[in-house]
Chains A and B, each alone.
Chain A
């Protein structure tokens, strides 16, 4: 399978957003049957399913725009880690429930602003998807918010663990706002999403009695195919069945 360096800009952009959704869907799926309570198994599976639906639309569109005959399955199952364009935030391991909720808060708050902005994209497919997905993401963001409030402003132990979860994911948040595409009028400029994201997340943290971390390093490079060692393991699990039985259907 060839690399994606030659993708048209619109296909590359759709792929990057689709990869974020796909990889996070796979990560969240790992919680099923392992969450602290059965309602959370159901909630995280539902959130993963919404993200998977968004990924299918975005990957399918990337393949169609590329025009080389690759469909959503080819793009999901037959690329290696260096060809994925997701931010590193979505690929890091789930950690404990507080780490996952910290990631859900920062990512869903970002995706909420992203899809709100893309709703007025000049590209009809991206605008259509965004207008639909923003309603789903509103639920994801509210779900994460409620948990961060409950754990942050809960017991002494839950507060310590929620703060630790936040400290762990925070260095990966900066990457969300790195430029993802130069497509004016089509792509959302991530820098413009930041004020609203910052305001939302800051107010939740403050209400949850948590402090905003000030990390001494930040992740970078996911949009250029540079990933943590965790992505390869995730892909091995996600892709193995498809690659073992090429073309199998039921």
Chain B
């Protein structure tokens, strides 16, 4: 195992952290989700990772932190420190295009733009397309779904229920 603390640059460390799969949506990497905000190599050789939660109560945060720590150690880091950063608040606008495409293929409707979500009543996306059949004829069953970041929808065309990633 090479000594990462002396050979790796920031870009390599960042790529390792970002390649870790999300434990609840393994089709996405943490990089796709946009939750790895920064990675630094400190003077004493510790790799410091800035991680932001999707939701403040996200129960996957502890597992995510462990997985990032594990991945960086396997890549040769001796010490890893995870910092939880709340500001600026995570937004679905940070999700990569690749991430959105992978979500759709996985059967989850990707989030629309979040720019208008803050302030005022929650805006419902006008056309959430069914990830199974592509029809725009869908309706929201509940604002809340199987995880904090998703809402429950159903398709009127193919009659299949599906998860939709909430724009926040």
Using a CB–CB cutoff of 8 Å, the interface residues on chain A facing chain B are 39-40, 42-43, 45-47, 49-54, 56-57, 124-125, 127-129, 131-136, 138-139, 141-143, 145
Contact = CB atoms under 8 A, between A and B. Distances in A.
A49 B141 contact: no
Interface of B: 53, 55-59, 85-90, 117-119, 121-122, 141-146, 148, 152, 166, 168
Contacts, number: 85
B86 A142 contact: no
Nearest to B149: A46
Interface of B: prevailing SS: loop
A132 B56 contact: yes
A131 B87 contact: yes
Secondary structure class of chain A's binding surface, majority of residues: helix
Given A135-B118, A138-B117, A139-B166, A46 B144 contact: yes
Given A42-B142, A42-B144, A49 B57 contact: yes
Contact of B55 (A39, A129, A136): A136
B142 A142 contact: no
B122 to A, nearest CB: 4
B145 A42 contact: yes
Contact of A49 (B59, B87, B88, B145): B59
Nearest to B167: A135
Contacts of B88: 131
Contact of B56 (A43, A45, A50, A141): A50
B89 A39 contact: no
A54 B53 CA distance: 12
Contact of B86 (A45, A131, A139, A143): A131
A158 to B, nearest CB: 19
Nearest to B124: A142
Contacts of B86: 57, 125, 128-129, 131-132
